[in-house]
Amino acid sequence: MFIAVLCVLLAMLQPFVLSVLARSSTRKADYLPNPREYNETLSGWHRRAHFAQLNAFEAFPPFAAAVILAWLAGVPPARINVLAVLFVVFRLAHAAFYLADRSSLRSLVWKLAMMAVVALFVLALVRLA
């Protein structure tokens, strides 16, 4: 379970890393007074980094819940670890494809990451049935 918990931590940190990337060319004086308005002025890969950040925030809660529920249901830790690693790898690829403006690949790895989450829930349900 160490690996799965580490994956939850990495998934939790991903949006914050993307946030830093989104504003990497920004002076704090421009950003701090009204960050939400400022985010709307971003363009190019900085804007895509912001959108990837939002998506990473959205993807995290179901993943964390799935890992916890799978563990509580008694799913073998090795299975949880594999699916957690797959989720993180797919989410890293999602961010990379978002930054590179590769929408088809981005959508594919998003679906694969969500399949890992669904698999964790299904494994938990099977153990509880």
pLDDT digits (tens, 9 = 90+) for 44-60: 999 899 999 999 999 99
**pLDDT class for 23, splitting at 50, 70, 90?**
confident
Q: Contact 91/56 with Cβ under 8 angstroms?
A: yes
* pLDDT tens string 67-111: 999 999 999 999 999 999 999 999 999 999 999 999 999 999 999
8 has a pLDDT exceeding 80: yes
Q: What is the pTM of this model?
A: 0.91
Q: Classify 59 in phi/psi space as left (phi over 0), alpha (psi -120 to 50) or beta.
A: alpha
List the domains of the chain with CATH numbers. Answer: 2-128 (1.20.120.550)
129 has a pLDDT exceeding 80: yes
The reported pLDDT for the residue numbered 115 is: 98
Cα separation, 18 vs 58, in Å, equals 13
The reported pLDDT for the residue numbered 42 is: 84
